[in-house]
Amino acid sequence: MWRNRHSGFLILFVILIFLNVAYGRKAPNIVFILADDLGWHDVGFHGSEIKTPNIDKLAYEGVILNNYYVQPICTPTRGAIMSGKYPIHTGLQHYVIAGSQPYGLPLSVTTLPQHLQALGYNTHMVGKWHLGLFKKDYLPENRGFESHFGYYMGLSDYFDHYSEDRYFGYDLHYNGETAWNYSEVYSTELYTRHAENIIRSHNQSKPLFLYLAHQAVHAGNAGDPIQAPQEYIDRFPYIKNVPRRMFAGVVSALDDSVGAVYKALQDAKMADNTIIIFSTDNGGPTDHYDQNAACNWPLKGNKNTLWQGGVRGVGLVHSPLISNPGRVVNGMVHVVDWLPTLLQAAKGEGLKPQSQRDENDSDLDLDGIDMWAEISGKSGIDKKDAWPRNEVLLNIDPVDKFGGIIVGDYKLVYGNVPTSGWYPPPDKSADDVDGETQKVNLNSPAENILFFRPEVQEPEVKSVYGKPISIECGLMPLNATENCQPQKRPCLFDLSSDPCEYHNLASEFPDVVIKLQDRLAKYALTMVPPGNKPEDPRGNPQLNGGVWKPWM
């Protein structure tokens, strides 16, 4: 009896080994680096005057997502990454979570790290959470992360780690406990150091998921919004505008962090089986928004708007698992796609988009679409008409009464969308910018970076390596601002010919307006109410030892 049972176990073990060898390699490590408030024109591979050689390296040796959409502000994007669902389906569609508001990403949501844990991953988070802190159940270490080192709020001082959001308190934590011993350590360097330690100490018998949600390049507290050590600021003497030069220092520290994390993966011999995602959470704060100095040029608009500058984001994927790197992907990708895409890459079961759901798929009803075959180059699909995603819901906010959607080439916005314009880098005209950003020099070593540029041998990589991604807007008409007033009537744009939203076509194509309004109406039928709650005075840090932490 024992011998038969033992033989059965042995046979099963041999079969499992055979299947593992025959049908797949070891599950890949996943490192998701999320920048905060990084604008379209704030990276070198988009032609910025700010040098970002490490980010550029990953972009040009990986896949550049050139038609990548995020939510217009941070809490909704972070919720979308964690859930794979549009904010209208998690109650996060209206603004952000204030520190003393008693709500968060619903506990009914199974998060990305929880899914990955079920697939055998070690899961760690470093940096900004901003998905609820009022109860311990909502903290990262109780939402699928084995560890969390970072802060809970939307913003913080980069050096002393105090956050001001109506109330004032300390906001740096390690696994739910206040981390007091890091005063005057610059947060970008602090989070980088912790991420490096996680990589170095990782037991490689299991795959790693590391979510590095940087504070950079978000503004700090109102009294001192743009913060970087002087050594980073001094890298940009040619940027004359002082806030923009300081902002460039913040970006440069972020870029160094990307390089340091990649080097840590190389040193640990993990880089050859790692997927790195680099993404912004929303468009950049321009025009003095938050007293910051980001730039979305030449796109229209600002953070916290549905214009392209608010929702078309910086995004890339780097991995040796990509079969034909050096590509620019022009197919539409949305931030909700990361959950099913990464689960597929991790050898998880393919999950259903919401359009294919049924009553037995309650928690796997996703708005995200698995894009792994397209991103990795395994599908062979590059043509727009064969691309898996044809539409993006930008948002429906029933409180502030605005919304927007993209279907195919057409974009519709309506309601109280904040008025916004087109903002070149400070002190630069449009002509100046066009003259300065035609080339990204990858042949000479940049100062104080971890990577020197290697010669690229593959012809398909050479085709894009070192060439900034450009957006051709054409001539701006004199009435570009006045011809679209979404508070009065919806505005319609053809993004294929008008990526900068100069020409409102609503009066010319009323049938297209009706079609997109119908799509919005169908989404509205599936919407859950916003989860926002009034601020609770019991959340005041002064009632909790001077610390932002759970109070219920």
DSSP string, 27-61: PPEEEEEEESS--GGGSGGGT-SS--HHHHHHHHT
Q: Which two tokens stand for residue 490?
A: 């919806």
Percent helix / strand / coil, the chain, rounded to 5? 30, 15, 55
Query: DSSP class of residue 11?
Result: H
- CB half-sphere exposure, 475, CA atoms < 13 A: 3
Rounded to whole angstroms, how far apart are CA atoms 320 and 274?
Answer: 7
DSSP string, 103-131: --S-TTSPPHHHHHHHTT-EEEEEEE--S
Cα 258 off chain centre by: 14
For residue 16, the tally of other CB atoms under 10 A from its CB is: 10
Rounded to whole angstroms, how far apart are CA atoms 306 and 71?
Answer: 8
DSSP string, 521-541: HHHHHTPPPP------GGG-G
Active site residues: 74, 130
Query: DSSP class of residue 361?
Result: -
Contact 10, 188 (CB under 8 A): no
Beta partners for residue 366, in sequence order: 353
Query: DSSP class of residue 509?
Result: -
Contact 278, 55 (CB under 8 A): yes
